[in-house]
Structure 1
Amino acid sequence: MAEADNAQDMFSGTKEVAESHKFDEANLAAWMEANVEGYEGPLTVKQFKGGQSNPTYKLFTPSKTYVMRRKPPGKLLPSAHAVDREFKVINALYPTGFPVARPYGLCMDEDVIGTIFYIMDNVDGRILWDQTLPDYEPAQRRAIYEAKVKTFADLHNTDYKKVGLQDFGKEGDYCARQIHRWTKQYKASETMHIPEMEQLIDWLPKNLPKNEDVTIVHGDYRLDNMVLHPTDPKVIAVLDWELSTLGDPLADFSYHLMNWVMPGNDESRGSIANIKDLKAHGIPTLEEYVDMYCQHTGRDGMPDLNYYFSYNAFRLAGILQGIVGRVRDGTASNANAASNAERVVPLAKFAAERARMAGMEG
């Protein structure tokens, strides 16, 4: 309980702007004056505490509060921290009624504050950092999870062509492209021989699910990436669209489902997999949650779920090995190198176990 409270305190609310993330606030105020409908200063800037990879600021004016997301300053990978893509998807979804913050403007001129940025509405509500919801009653937990899966299904049910996102990503072969990408990353970053990874590198691309759908995918849909209504079990804004693209909705949904099947490595956020009796706790079981999603999306079931679990664990192993490799090469901070390295083998073993359940031999 104390750990959950610590996480809630650690990531909630705002702080003074970090020295490394400061910028010319007068320039921002002038840009907002010219580009944000209804803006009236003076402007006060704070920074959100939460661990976003894109620095996120709360902007206060006498009559309204806004949020700014920007690229971090400094040298970055070309495709990383694409706040312009975040703005594009929010801008497309907002008119449909899907719960996202109202977008106000995107600035591609790096001279204004040093990086590109966008401004959106500040949505007041609850951001819950511990997915086990320790401060709630079982019936409340159930209602929150029902709202969460319904909102996720609504995203996947959105016609991306109708909302103007047909050029938001490549159509089709999403899993194949991801497997190729993370295989390449894993090989370039390899620090030890892991037999399970070699098996998966061979088996996964040869056994792709048939008839892959294409929808908008969020990429990191989870409880602390959304704002809930202050009192009701209702999602009022989905946040952090940094990884969104066009892709396979079942890859997106099954990544979200990993919370049910893998013990959490970060205990401060809580882990559904560590709860002995989910029904008594109020959180839907994996089977119930999958059924809810299928009902909302008109599916008969998810026969390829073990494949997707294997794929997602393989992808995570590739991502973490990439971090380990960058530490080895001296291009990343050493802070969490040991813990990331320790997670790669268990993920590979889990991925291989699920692949065997999906038909892989050996």
Structure 2
Amino acid sequence: MAVAGTASDVAVDLDVLGALLRADGVGAVAPFSAVRVGRGQSNLTYLVEDAAGSRWIVRRPPRGHLLDSAHDVLREHRILSALQGTGVPVPAVVGRYVDDGLAETPVVVMEHVDGLVVDRPEVAAATDTALRAALGPSLARTLAAVHEVDVEAVGLADLASHAPYAARQLKRWSRQWDASRTRELPALERLTELLRRRMPEQHELTLVHGDFHIRNVIADPATGDLRAVLDWELSTLGDPLADIGSLLAYWPEAGDPPTGLFAASTLPGFADRRAMADTYLAASGRDAADLDYWHVLGLWKIAVISEGVLRRALDDPRNAADGGPPEPGFVDSLVDRAWATARAAGLDT
């Protein structure tokens, strides 16, 4: 999704960007144009095009006050650079810049990858059932490939702590909730305590994406194979089942109560959550132990992130992506679904 805007809406100086690209040997020809792209509500993402038709994706943190450790595009650049040449499809990195003339924050530039981005209901509705049937398994298999990356070999072994991931996630996102919440939500607080009480033992440590779902990938429009995995800002080292749990959290299926989550996966032809999990488990060789826990934690985390998105939009409306920020009821419905999932799995005992 591209959203046109005026020069004042674009939070990078395009002339400075062109000069920096040329200094790095990239043939960038003025004048430049930029549009906001994607439905993401976190880092600001632009499609930049020069006079010769060359195109790049430019990412920077949102405007305004930033929470500690959030929106780290330089960290994202490091991860993308490390994954070049692995079995994980990612865009090629072009440059990373910390220049006050360009923006008050760091800026990362990467190649533009053509393909299908299923980020709007009308895009999902236009896909045929064969493509829908291919997309879900492709996501699951690609996620398994992410978890196969040898972090020592690609230089990411020191990316994050090796301490148990569930405890780290609960600590980090509880802190984010305390810093960004717009109201009291006792049901979320009780869910946090449940997740602390039922934390599983960690048996392995891999690279995890942290925000893997259908709107964060670019697919081949003919085959459904993934051409690029995007938005690595939450990537870290942790329990690989956390990623498939989050993917399931982002994957509503027909018959679910409405939550406000992007509901492409409810259309006929898309795999259900059980099939998605089975495809991942077969591709990765893992078993389903503790997967329900990570599914619940994924829903909890999306709720916390969504509250933060709402807070940033209230603080500065220019941070809101096309379609606007989530409503408070969206966060409430996610917490309700998390509780329902926990009860169905017997985690609330």
Per the alignment, residue 110 of structure 2 pairs with 120
SS at match of 2:56: strand
8 Å Cα contact 1:127/1:224 also seen in 2: yes
Pairing of 1:204-219 with structure 2 (within 5 A): 204-219=195-210
Bigger radius of gyration, 1 or 2? 1
Distance 1:72 1:295, change over 3 A: same
Query: Which residue among 303, 320, 336 is the counterpart of 2:289?
Result: 303
Pairing of 1:36-75 with structure 2 (within 5 A): 36=25, 38-52=26-40, 53-62=43-52, 64-75=54-65
Q: Which AA in structure 1 matches 2:271?
A: P
TM-score by length of 2: 0.83
Aligned-residue RMSD, C-alpha = 3.2
How many residues of Structure 1 are paired with residues of Structure 2 in the alignment?
339
Query: Which residue among 157, 164, 175 is the counterpart of 1:166?
Result: 157
Per the alignment, residue 270 of structure 1 pairs with 263
Paired with 1:359 and 1:201, the residues of 2 have a C-alpha distance of 16
- Could you give the per-residue CA deviations for residues 78-137 of structure 1, whole angstroms, max 9, x where no partner exists? 423211111111111012242111112111233344432122111112212247932222
SS at match of 1:120: strand
Per the alignment, residue 313 of structure 1 pairs with 299
Paired with 2:224 and 2:185, the residues of 1 have a C-alpha distance of 47
SS at match of 1:133: helix
Paired with 1:337 and 1:237, the residues of 2 have a C-alpha distance of 26
Per the alignment, residue 88 of structure 2 pairs with 98
TM-score by length of 1: 0.80
Pairing of 1:8-27 with structure 2 (within 5 A): 11=1, 13=2, 15-27=4-16
Distance 1:222 1:344, change over 3 A: closer
Paired with 2:28 and 2:176, the residues of 1 have a C-alpha distance of 47
Distance 1:157 1:359, change over 3 A: same
**1:260 has 2:260 as partner:** no
- Could you give the per-residue CA deviations for residues 241-260 of structure 1, whole angstroms, max 9, x where no partner exists? 22222222211111111223
Paired with 1:239 and 1:83, the residues of 2 have a C-alpha distance of 12
8 Å Cα contact 1:21/1:55 also seen in 2: no
Distance 1:291 1:14, change over 3 A: same
Structure 2: gaps of 5 or more residues: none
Paired with 1:332 and 1:265, the residues of 2 have a C-alpha distance of 25
Structure 1: gaps of 5 or more residues: 1-10, 276-280
8 Å Cα contact 1:141/1:282 also seen in 2: yes
Q: Which AA in structure 2 matches 1:340?
A: E
Pairing of 1:137-176 with structure 2 (within 5 A): 137-176=128-167
- Could you give the per-residue CA deviations for residues 253-301 of structure 1, whole angstroms, max 9, x where no partner exists? 111112236545447x4343x55xxxxx2222222211110111111x3
Pairing of 1:212-361 with structure 2 (within 5 A): 212-258=203-249, 259-260=251-252, 263-266=257-260, 269-272=262-265, 274-275=266-267, 281-299=268-286, 301-321=287-307, 331=315, 340-361=327-348
SS at match of 1:243: coil
Distance 1:22 1:197, change over 3 A: closer
SS at match of 1:110: coil
8 Å Cα contact 1:142/1:284 also seen in 2: yes
Per the alignment, residue 21 of structure 2 pairs with 32
SS at match of 1:313: helix
